[in-house]
Amino acid sequence: MTHVALTIAGSETTGGAGAQTDLKTFHQLGTFGTAALTCIVSFDPSNDWAHRFVPVEPQVIADQIEATTAVHDIDTVKIGMLGTPATIDTVAASLAERSFTNVVLDPVLICKGQEPGAALDTDNALKEQILPLATFVTPNHFEALTLSGMESISSVEDLTEAARRIHETYDVIVLAKGGVVLEGEDAVDVFHDGEQTVELRSPKIGQERVSGAGCTLAAAVTAELAKGARPLEAARVAKDVVTSSIEHRQGGHAPFEAVYQGAYQGGSSQV
Tens-digit pLDDT profile for residues 15-54: 999 999 999 999 999 999 999 999 999 999 999 988 899 9
User: What's the gap between Cα 219 and its chain centre?
Assistant: 6
Say yes or no to pLDDT of 110 above 80. Answer: no
Cα dihedral 118, 104, 75, 111 in deg (nearest 10): 20
Q: What's residue 118's pLDDT?
A: 58
Beta strands in 18-124 (DSSP E): 32-44, 50-55, 76-79, 102-105
- How far CA 236 is from CA of 41, 125, 218, in Å, comes to 30, 30, 12
Provide the residue count of the chain. 271
Please, are residues 184 and 158 in contact by the beta-carbon 8 Å criterion? Answer: no
Q: What's residue 228's pLDDT?
A: 97
The DSSP element (H or E) to which 134 belongs, if any, is none
Q: What's residue 1's pLDDT?
A: 76
Name the β-bridge partners of 202: 187
Which range among 113-117, 140-144, 242-246 shows the weakest confidence by mean pLDDT? 113-117
Q: What's residue 269's pLDDT?
A: 47
The average pLDDT across 212-228 equals: 97
Which range among 22-31, 103-112, 153-162 shows the weakest confidence by mean pLDDT? 103-112
The DSSP element (H or E) to which 207 belongs, if any, is none
- How far CA 107 is from CA of 138, 166, 171, in Å, comes to 7, 12, 15
Q: What's residue 116's pLDDT?
A: 46
Strands 76-79 and 32-44: unpaired
Q: What's residue 268's pLDDT?
A: 54
- For 62-97, write each residue's pLDDT tens digit: 999 999 999 999 999 999 999 999 999 999 999 999
Cβ-Cβ contacts under 8 Å for 144 (sequence gap 6 or more):
150, 153, 159, 162, 163, 166, 176, 177
Distance (Å, rounded) from C-alpha 60 to C-alpha 91? 11
Task: Grade residue 112 by pLDDT with cuts at 50, 70 and 90.
Answer: very low
Percent of residues, the chain, with pLDDT higher than 70? 94
Say yes or no to pLDDT of 117 above 70. Answer: no
Q: What's residue 178's pLDDT?
A: 94
Task: Grade residue 108 by pLDDT with cuts at 50, 70 and 90.
Answer: confident
- C-alpha angle 172/114/96, rounded to 5°? 35
In terms of Cα–Cα distance, which of 155, 116, 154, 147 is closest to 130? 147
- For 174-205, write each residue's pLDDT tens digit: 999 998 899 999 999 999 999 999 999 999 99
